[in-house]
A and B are shown apart, each in its own frame.
Chain A
Amino acid sequence: MWKNIKNSTKVWFEERYQLEEVVEKNVTKKLIPKGISLFRCMGGLALIAFLIQVGTGIFLVFYYVPSASEAFNSVQYIRHALPYGWLIQKVHAVTPYFMIVPLFAHMIRILFKGLYKNPRELHWVSGATLLVLTLLICYTGTCLPANNLSYWGVSSVGGEVAMPTMVTDHIVGAYNDGGMVSNRSFVTVYALHVACIPIMMCILMGFHFLMIRRTGVSEPL
């Protein structure tokens, strides 16, 4: 019976979308050049890290409160009261430390081998922009829990950070104002962290992967 259900489902999908042909062409019967090193997996690793961040971030969105009075407490609630909340919060906090390593390795490999040359100039442009956006999203992420790291980041280093002036004014001004942070500051940084930057990253990633599919990976040197 299970086999019948499986077959009929397969036939149903096959009639409509011809998935078998797509899978054969792109996965099972696809051939790639030999001699490509493991360093070529670095871009894929950065994608895996991004997906981990999206997965854990979606969980955190349900419980994090972007407000001056509640931000810290909501993170404490996630860490101490929710089942496995500590794990998900810490994975979300720690993954960027490791995400940047394959990203840097990927960029440096491409830079040293000159793989950004014609016809792959836009691969580099989209990838380098993704690196800049990754640094920005990591920075906004460190500001959100309103812990001492957030304070250190936006205040103790002199109040100058790699963010648009409007945003830094909000955060730094608010932090320096007797340690209180305005709700607007949190909402601004929160919106950048969970919506603006990730959406830009997704669009650029789509563009990056589409171009790689079009031109293929570069020849091993």
Chain B
Amino acid sequence: MADYSKGRNEEELEAFYPNEILRHILITFLFISAVMLGVMFLPESFQKSTDEFASFQTRPPWFLLPFYHVSSLINNRVWHVAILVIYAMTFISIPFLDRNPERSLWKKPIFLTIVIINLLMIFVLGLTRYLQ
């Protein structure tokens, strides 16, 4: 197991208990509060699935919108599944694709550009599906 005290003096260390535990508890309560606010105020339309009720007023979770938009842009089933799988595999393989010894993304302009383009693409795909 990792020992953080190695190579550090006391001033560079703090107690896991209670400091870190307290931080985690506070953040957890904030998160649960956010969920409860969502439970109370997020609108929902819970109706039986028929053509009549399948209106575009009902939207899937926001984080699935980009993937739904991709599905509507690509008609070929095989291509659609293949593109999503390749995208996921590329995302998972990032540590093996990025062989630059520099750690910070800000110091790797090409990789930074690719990441920003991808993030923007996901955002735009989701937003345009949401606005449709």
A1: Cβ under 8 A from any B Cβ: no
Known A148-B45, A148-B58: A98·B64 in contact at CB below 8 Å: no
From A25, A33, A79, A96, B46 is in contact (CB under 8 Å) with: A79
* A43-60 at interface with B (beta carbon < 8 Å): 44-45, 48-49, 52
Known A94-B35, A113-B104, A214-B2: A138·B14 in contact at CB below 8 Å: no
Q: Let me know if B58 and A152 touch, CB within 8 A.
A: yes
Chain A CB within 10 A, most for which of B17, B46, B102? B46
From A91, A125, A165, A181, B92 is in contact (CB under 8 Å) with: A125
Q: Let me know if A31 and B49 touch, CB within 8 A.
A: no
A-B Cβ contacts below 8 A, count: 207
Q: Let me know if B49 and A150 touch, CB within 8 A.
A: yes
* A30-77 at interface with B (beta carbon < 8 Å): 30-34, 38, 41, 44-45, 48-49, 52, 72, 75
Q: Let me know if A33 and B13 touch, CB within 8 A.
A: yes
From B27, B31, B77, B115, A98 is in contact (CB under 8 Å) with: B31
Q: How large is the interface on A (under 10, 10 to 19, 20 to 34, 35 or more residues)?
A: 35 or more
Q: Is the interface of A mostly helix, strand, loop or mixed?
A: helix
Q: How large is the interface on B (under 10, 10 to 19, 20 to 34, 35 or more residues)?
A: 35 or more
Q: Let me know if B16 and A48 touch, CB within 8 A.
A: no
Closest to B50 in A: A179
Additional A-B contact list (14), CB under 8 Å, known A48-B31, A114-B105, A221-B104: A32-B14, A34-B13, A75-B46, A79-B46, A97-B42, A97-B63, A100-B61, A112-B105, A117-B101, A147-B48, A152-B54, A152-B55, A158-B72, A214-B1
Chain A interface residues (CB < 8 Å from chain B): 25-28, 30-34, 38, 41, 44-45, 48-49, 52, 72, 75, 79, 87, 90-91, 93-98, 100, 102, 104, 108, 111-117, 120-121, 124-125, 128-129, 131-132, 135, 138-139, 142, 145-153, 155-158, 160-162, 164-165, 168, 175, 179, 181, 213-217, 221
